[in-house]
Amino acid sequence: MTTMLETRELSKSFSLKRSSLSRAAGALGLSRQEDRRVYAVNEVSLSVDQGEVLGLVGESGCGKSTVGRMIAGLLPATSGDLAFEGKDMSRPSVDTHLNIQMVFQNPYASLNPRQRVDQVISEAAIYHGLIRKKDASSFVAGLLQQVGLDASYASRYPHQFSGGQRQRIAIARALALNPKFIVCDEAVSALDVSVQAQILNLFMDLRESKGLTYLFISHNLAVVEYIADRVAIMYLGRIVELADTRSVFARPNHPYTQALIADAPRLDAKVVEHRPIQGELPSPLKPPSGCTFHPRCPHAMPRCSQERPALTSIAPGHWSACHLNDTGASA
Ligand SMILES: Nc1ncnc2c1ncn2[C@@H]1O[C@H](COP(=O)(O)OP(=O)(O)OP(=O)(O)O)[C@@H](O)[C@H]1O
């Protein structure tokens, strides 16, 4: 397998403006001097092989979108490395950037309502010189066909389409730049369940026909279980577990992964008892010491609040960051 994308200790923190800082800090009982940064992503090391779908899951606010936006070049990293096809992306060229496109959650918001579909799809390809303006209509017709839409839709406006059709248009817009890698950020979350399945199948068909590679960000475990080859679980800005999809769902190791799976609505609900995850995600303004999951962990030991567990190999291809693995007592 060829590694297509690699991040090493990628981190992102945001500096808070004084007004929001004083509100947030006040709520946390902090003085202004104590902390001025939101630690959104901390030392995330991931690799994605050519043709692979890597799922990235975790509760809202754990840093998934920030990872996706750094990979897509929409946000600079605070520290760490990012490489695409072996090339350093800290100063990405236009070519490398075009190779990575992003599909967002809300196709209502991500399409300009004043642009016709043909303009939405062809604008960036014309701008970057990938096609000539006079070839745009056949180019757009081809892309519409690839995403399962009729070529006659090219002259319509986004508001004339359903949510699923709009997401297909957004996918055609991403494909127009001939990417090798697509970051899907909650790309089916706003759609009805039956439409979700159609769009997931479109992503898989495009993987086959175009050899695409995906980072698939979702808070929905069922979606990730369906589409991903491997899954990375994120908690408060860090990867806490990483393995092939089957292992994550059959043998979740980290107590957070176990809690997420027990919390998720499942089709086989008779097999898995639904247990809501305890407590709330702590603020990334002031993450807990040691293992940041320890205040919510049913298995927490004194060591867990003192020492951050490293992400270590617990089986071939299976990584987890939990002190229980050192004691031999699996959660
Ligand atoms: N521009 C920003 N300025 C300040 N804080 C930010 C900014 N963008 C994100 N954050 C904070 O970084 C943390 C991670 O946010 P992020 O959107 O990456 O999480 P997420 O897991 O994708 O959540 P969601 O699914 O709700 O988007 C959150 O605490 C968020 O409030």
Q: State the complex-level ipTM.
A: 0.97
Of 15, 22, 17, 61, the C-alpha closest to 38 is: 15
CA angle 67, 245, 43 (to 5 degrees): 30
Q: What is the pLDDT of residue 138?
A: 96
249 belongs to a structural domain? yes
Reported pTM: 0.91
Span from the CA of 119 to the centroid of ligand 1 (angstroms): 31
What SS3 state is found at 235? strand
Q: Are 45 and 8 in contact (CB under 8 A)?
A: yes
Name 184's bridge partners: 103, 216
Condensed to tens digits (0 to 9), the pLDDT of residues 275-328 reads 778 888 888 888 999 999 999 999 999 999 999 999 999 999 999 999 999 976
Q: Are 260 and 222 in contact (CB under 8 A)?
A: no
281 belongs to a structural domain? yes
User: Is residue 10 lining ligand 1, measured as CB closer than 6 Å?
Assistant: no
Is the predicted pLDDT of residue 166 greater than 80, yes or no? yes
Q: Are 238 and 284 in contact (CB under 8 A)?
A: no
Ligand 1 nearest atom to the CA of residue 66, by list position: 18
Q: Determine the average pLDDT of the residues in 140-147.
A: 97
Kindly state the tokens that stand for 93.
Answer: 């060229």
**Whole-number average pLDDT of the chain:** 90
Q: What is the pLDDT of residue 96?
A: 74
Q: What is the pLDDT of residue 288?
A: 95
Q: What is the pLDDT of residue 90?
A: 76
138 belongs to a structural domain? no
Cα separation, 226 vs 191, in Å, equals 16
Residue nearest to atom 11 of ligand 1 (CA): 40
319 belongs to a structural domain? yes
Q: What is the CATH number of the domain that holds 312?
A: 3.40.50.300
Domain membership of residue 75 as a residue range: 3-114+157-327
Q: Determine the average pLDDT of the residues in 196-219.
A: 96
Kindly state the tokens that stand for 142.
Answer: 């081809």
Which residues, in sequence order, are CB contacts of 213 under 8 Å at separation 6+?
Answer: 4, 5, 48, 49, 50, 51, 52, 53, 180, 181, 182, 207
Residue nearest to atom 31 of ligand 1 (CA): 61
140 belongs to a structural domain? no
225 belongs to a structural domain? yes
User: Is residue 65 lining ligand 1, measured as CB closer than 6 Å?
Assistant: yes
Q: Is 114 or 97 the better-scoring residue by pLDDT? A: 114
Q: What is the pLDDT of residue 271?
A: 52
Quick one: CA dihedral 298, 299, 301, 307, positive or negative? negative
Q: Confidence band (pLDDT; 50, 70, 90) for 208?
A: very high
Cα separation, 89 vs 92, in Å, equals 5
Span from the CA of 265 to the centroid of ligand 1 (angstroms): 24
Q: For the chain, what is the domain count? A: 1
Q: Give me the percent of the chain exceeding a pLDDT of 90.
A: 76
299 belongs to a structural domain? yes
Span from the CA of 13 to the centroid of ligand 1 (angstroms): 10
Q: Are 300 and 257 in contact (CB under 8 A)?
A: no
